[in-house]
Amino acid sequence: MNRQETRPSGRSARQTLAAALLLAAYVAITALPVLLAWGQGFPARPWPDELSSALAMTSLMVLAVEFALSGRFRGASSPVGIDAVMRMHQLIARPALVYLLVHPMMYTLPLAVQPWDDTRAATLALTPAATVTGMAAWVLMALLVPAAIFRDRIPYRYETWRLAHALGAAALMALAIHHALDAGRYSGAAPLGWMWWLAAALCALALVHVWVLRPWAMSRKPYLVTRLERIAPRTWTLALRAEGHPGCAFRAGQFAWIKAGSAWRFGDHPFSIASAPAQRPEIEFLIKEAGDFTGSLPDSVPPGSRVFLDAPYGHFTLEGRDGEGIMLIAGGVGFAPVLSLLRELAARGERRPVILVFGNRIAEQIVFERELRDIAAKIDLRTHFVLGEPPAGWTGISGQLDPDTLRPLLPARPEGWLYFVCGPTPMIDAVEHALDRAGVPLAQIVAERFRYDSGSPGRRERRMLAAFAAVAAANLAVALAFALRS
Ligand SMILES: Cc1cc2nc3c(=O)[nH]c(=O)nc-3n(C[C@H](O)[C@H](O)[C@H](O)COP(=O)(O)OP(=O)(O)OC[C@H]3O[C@@H](n4cnc5c(N)ncnc54)[C@H](O)[C@@H]3O)c2cc1C
């Protein structure tokens, strides 16, 4: 990497600022309905009724933001990473669920229509249609969020859950917005009513973007499967060639969502790109069998077939980061983006020292050994293989990628280096813990989790939870201030 091109802590400062701005924008957007309702100047009702309305309005706005976050919009995800965005998506759904569930139970006013009560200060006026949409939205919300939280325990395919989640969320938004416009004391009046119409239009646009515009764009840039090869137990390389276009312009370490067969079908899968940008229009992936799609690659992506990519995504990249040296720590198929980085470093003629620690269970899972030797001939690369179940006569390191194994492999001045970590979540947690203990600042560690639902108690997760607690507290404070305003 050309050191002149990089700024030492510029990227981490930018990331922190971007995260703070995104959180501030989130608080402002989700507080907006309550603030608009406040500005309408209606006489206050008993505080439980006002709190109930405020929580429902906040919850509906949170749902609209959830919709936007799930649309894979690069502007929202690239500054902080898609895993952080998806973790926030999971976390903020929980208070929204509670707000919506308690909403109908908190009202104290009677359900009656009294013509003289034109500001609805003494009654709740519900039409039959608003009753039905409100109840349906309540039930859907009660199903959707727990089904997502306990997804792994539900005996359905991941794709079935994802389709049900997407359709359920779209139906929930439509039902809840109808209910708000028809039954809401505040939402039924301007300017809040206009804001809900705008939110509905933006959600509809997001749907058109995800279901029509993006597949259409993908369909115009097909890729041909040129090679599918099993290179280790349950591990494959998939090579593609861009057909009639130069291929997507990605940075080493990024990932792509892959759709097999048709760009219009539902269901795609994220895979890290294992090749370097210089290898375009050829693009390579390293895939481990994990379930339905990855377990039947010869059927779903046979050589000669077409696939479609939504790419590039991810921030597991070298650009804008600096360090005295680079340590790459990979577990299993987490080697895929690390291989991309190594290939890129070799292509750039990297001058700084590079250490690779590659952990696997058994020796047969060590892949690309020859290429690693070729790369070591070009750059200052030291490679350590770690095996959980080493064969007899193994001369490498034995054990798990945990703090004890890692400590002797760290550079002499670990805090000045840059670290890229990818692999199973427990491995990433252990490595982050080890680096933490070695005094490495969090900003020097770039980790990629192949599963979003980390929930692990590392420093990053604690930061996510703190950010989430701050925005949830801000939402609640605004709702309470509104309820107690008189
Ligand atoms: C950013 C990123 C990069 C990845 N890179 C690679 C890679 O380079 N090589 C590789 O082998 N795997 C990678 N994965 C994991 C890969 O996407 C899943 O293993 C794959 O989608 C599983 O699909 P399946 O149909 O075979 O299994 P399924 O039967 O669909 O699922 C198997 C398990 O994987 C989980 N899962 C499936 N899809 C996803 C998803 N989109 N997000 C989170 N969890 C999911 C399911 O909950 C289930 O527990 C990556 C994941 C992410 C998020």
Question: What is the pLDDT averaged over residues 398-424?
Answer: 94
Residue pair 441/434 in contact (Cβ under 8 Å)? The answer is no
189 plus 290 within the same structural domain: no
Determine which residue's CA is closest to atom 31 belonging to ligand 1: 291
pLDDT at residue 394 in the model: 95
Measured CA to CA, the distance from residue 327 to residue 415 in angstroms comes to 11
Separation of 269 CA from ligand 1 center, angstroms? 6
Q: Which of 149, 153, 269 to mutate to test the pocket of ligand 1 (most atoms within 8 A of CB)?
A: 269
Separation of 358 CA from ligand 1 center, angstroms? 20
16 plus 39 within the same structural domain: yes
pTM of the model: 0.86
Number of domains observed in the structure of the chain: 3
429 plus 307 within the same structural domain: no
7 plus 98 within the same structural domain: yes
240-279 pLDDT tens trace:
999 999 999 999 999 999 999 899 998 899 999 999 999 8
Beta partners for 357?
A: 329, 384
Query: pLDDT category, 129, cuts 50, 70, 90?
Result: very high
Tokens 């922190």, located at residue? 16
Residue among 328, 395, 392, 379 nearest 355 (CA)? 328
Determine which residue's CA is closest to atom 43 belonging to ligand 1: 451
Q: Which of 86, 150, 158, 301 to mutate to test the pocket of ligand 1 (most atoms within 8 A of CB)?
A: 158
Q: Which of 313, 343, 358 is the last residue of a domain?
A: 313
The answer to the question of residue 319 being in a domain is: no
**pLDDT above 50: residue 6:** no
Separation of 265 CA from ligand 1 center, angstroms? 18
The pair of structure tokens assigned to 155 is 């005996």
**Which residues form the domain of 232?**
222-313
Q: Averaging pLDDT over each range in 144-158, 236-250, 433-447, 451-465, which range is the top one?
A: 236-250
245 plus 369 within the same structural domain: no
The answer to the question of residue 320 being in a domain is: no
Q: Which residues line ligand 1 (CB under 6 A)?
A: 152, 157-158, 255, 269-272, 285-288, 290-295, 333, 336, 450-452
First to last CA, the chain: 61
144 plus 262 within the same structural domain: no
Query: pLDDT category, 5, cuts 50, 70, 90?
Result: very low
Question: In whole angstroms, what separates CA 357 from the centre of its chain?
Answer: 26
Long-range contacts of 396-400 (CB under 8 A, 24+ apart): 400/359, 400/427, 400/430
Q: Which residue type occupies 265? A: R
Separation of 192 CA from ligand 1 center, angstroms? 41
Query: pLDDT category, 7, cuts 50, 70, 90?
Result: very low
The answer to the question of residue 474 being in a domain is: yes
Q: Where residue 291 sits, what CATH number does that domain have?
A: 2.40.30.10
The answer to the question of residue 212 being in a domain is: yes
Determine which residue's CA is closest to atom 5 belonging to ligand 1: 271
- Sequence-ordered list of residues with C-beta below 8 angstroms from that of 462, at least 6 positions apart, any chain: none
Q: 279 in helix, strand or coil? A: helix
Measured CA to CA, the distance from residue 217 to residue 222 in angstroms comes to 10
Residue among 260, 295, 258, 290 nearest 274 (CA)? 258
Q: Where residue 438 sits, what CATH number does that domain have?
A: 3.40.50.80
pLDDT at residue 114 in the model: 67
Atom of ligand 1 nearest to the CA of 151: 47
Separation of 309 CA from ligand 1 center, angstroms? 15
Separation of 270 CA from ligand 1 center, angstroms? 6
